[in-house]
Chain A
Amino acid sequence: GENVEQHPSTLSVQEGDSAVIKCTYSDSASNYFPWYKQELGKRPQLIIDIRSNVGEKKDQRIAVTLNKTAKHFSLHITETQPEDSAVYFCAASINYGQNFVFGPGTRLSVLP
């Protein structure tokens, strides 16, 4: 079955700097890759997603890149703000969004 790895497990950046989180997946049939943000004690919420027929997608300060050949995808957050501090989870899915396999998460701390 699908296996998703995520690095780093923790990341601290200064406010205004960029943050990059990387994920790798094992099943080449995966075709949908969402990123979820989970603040302490709250539910996971989708922040951006990408389908396998697209190499990059951007939404304001957030972007995701996908390399299907290498089976990895990355989340890029620019101009980080303290409210970006949270745990970020990547996921991979076959059949566009049915069974999600999540990575173990990255705890991002944005230091003022």
Chain B
Amino acid sequence: DTGVSQDPRHKITKRGQNVTFRCDPISEHNRLYWYRQTLGQGPEFLTYFQNEAQLEKSRLLSDRFSAERPKGSFSTLEIQRTEQGDSAMYLCASSSRDRAIHEQYFGPGTRLTVT
């Protein structure tokens, strides 16, 4: 499968615990995005990387959230001290380095449930 992959697909955690999600983009893509999607809503932008540089962060990304892309390939999203309001689907997307191509390809998502 050469598409965007995410791991794990599901995560159940207790309030207050830390969780980390991983995203592997399409190999030739240099841009990587994280979104959060709650039931019945569209994806909400969280942050964006071009290569290893984090270029934009949403105000939704509180200080409990941190994202990295250390080698410009895979990315991790960590949530510290999880709260019940963090329960959502976390989607990763990637797009091509070709500036004429704008499509973002989404991964299957990681569904987080905070109990």
Interface contact A34-B102, CB-CB below 8 Å: yes
Contacts of A91 in B (CB 8 A): 42
Asked if B106 is at the interface of the complex by the 8 Å CB criterion, the answer is: yes
Complex Cα distance A60/B104, Å?
21
Known pairs A93-B102, A99-B33, A105-B42 / 18 extra A-B pairs, C-beta < 8 Å: A6-B42, A34-B102, A34-B103, A34-B104, A43-B4, A43-B106, A43-B107, A43-B108, A45-B106, A49-B102, A49-B103, A89-B42, A91-B42, A97-B95, A98-B56, A100-B104, A102-B44, A104-B41
Task: Report the separation of the CA atoms of residues A89 and B102 in the bound assembly, to the nearest whole angstrom.
Answer: 16
Q: Flag if A46 contacts B44 (CB, 8 Å).
A: no
A residues within 8 A CB of B107?
43
Secondary structure at the A interface, as helix, strand, loop or mixed, is strand
Chain A contact-residue range equals: 20 to 34
Is B42's CB under 8 angstroms from A104's CB?
Answer: yes
Structural contact, A99 and B48, CB atoms closer than 8 A: yes
**Chain A residues closer than 8 Å to B48, beta-carbon distance:** 98-99
Tell me, yes or no, whether A8 is within 8 Å of chain B by CB.
no
Q: Shortest CB–CB separation between residue A96 and chain B, in angstroms?
A: 5
Which residues of chain A (12-46) have a CB below 8 Å from chain B? Answer: 32, 34, 36, 42-46
Q: Chain B residues near A93 (CB, 8 Å)?
A: 102
A13 to chain B, nearest CB (A): 20
